[in-house]
Copies of this chain bind each other. A is one copy, B any other.
Amino acid sequence: MSTRPPDRFAHALDEAVALHPAGPGRWAGRTAPAYWNIVGPFGGWSVALLLQAVLNEPGRHGDPLGMTANLMARVEEGPLDVLTRCVRTNRSTEFWDAEMRQGDAAYAQAMVTLGQRPEATDAFLEARAPDAPAPETLAPQDRSGIGLRWLERYEFRPVAGASSQEGGSTRTVHWMREVDGRALDFTGLAACCDAIVPRIWLHAGGVRPVSTISLNIYFHATAAGLEAAGDDYLLVEAIGRRGHRGMFDHAATIWSRAGELLATTEQIAWYK
């Protein structure tokens, strides 16, 4: 593992989450034009960056089991620091904090749980992947004219659920992958967890101001499971459960094409 980013990157996400060591528990980075949203960075970039800072730590033990990221304020274009802290190390689990700062103010924070899983236990899989035709048989989503840079980093192929269903279900299913063939890892998967259409748009028939406030991920796949998924499409099923008085949620499951449950993710977001 290198803690100093290379000068050139094969994939856009690696460049976007590049962090330079800047002292113990401090990583220096900057916002990424390629992952810009309307008035700030794509939330999934912030989530991925917080996770990457922890994964960069040379003394960390284990791979991600879960994380929660709070996106507290709109990040400004420019330099930033991520402060990391190991809160506790156990035999098979480790707990980290990460905080993204610009100047003296905190803009995003996360808790990351790492674990070293035992090799052999019994297992169950009760969640079921949604029915979906092969992505090659579906049309890519037309994103021309939307003008959001981060959307250009992903290819989406909608399977079910429309973008305007007033009063109907907000359930959606889509295939997605990074456009530049980056192989899946925990950082890439974390970013995908915020690349889900805001349910309130689906409920109320269109684009309106929204902002992710808090996003939780539980990683069910091991590093080997992510490696097996490679750069192939991921299948994402998302539902909304409730929205009222300015806050709505979604809950989503993320699957490999081979049918492995890679992660579950929930979030609350603000709307008006």
The answer to whether B203 touches A245 (Cβ under 8 A) is: no
For residue A99, which residues in chain B have a CB less than 8 angstroms away from its CB?
Answer: 87
For residue A272, which residues in chain B have a CB less than 8 angstroms away from its CB?
Answer: 118, 121
A243 interface residue per 8 A CB criterion: yes
A125 interface residue per 8 A CB criterion: yes
- Count of residues in A whose CB is under 8 Å from the partner chain: 65
Minimal beta-carbon separation of A67 from chain B (angstroms): 9
The copy count of this chain in the complex is 2
A56 interface residue per 8 A CB criterion: no
For residue A120, which residues in chain B have a CB less than 8 angstroms away from its CB?
Answer: 245
For residue A111, which residues in chain B have a CB less than 8 angstroms away from its CB?
Answer: 68, 70, 109, 111, 214
For residue A90, which residues in chain B have a CB less than 8 angstroms away from its CB?
Answer: 72-73
A-side residues, CB < 8 A to B, are 65-66, 68, 70, 72-73, 87-88, 90, 92-93, 95, 97, 99, 105-107, 109, 111, 113, 115, 117-127, 169-171, 199-200, 203-204, 213-214, 216, 218, 220, 222, 239-249, 251, 253, 261, 264, 266, 268, 270-272
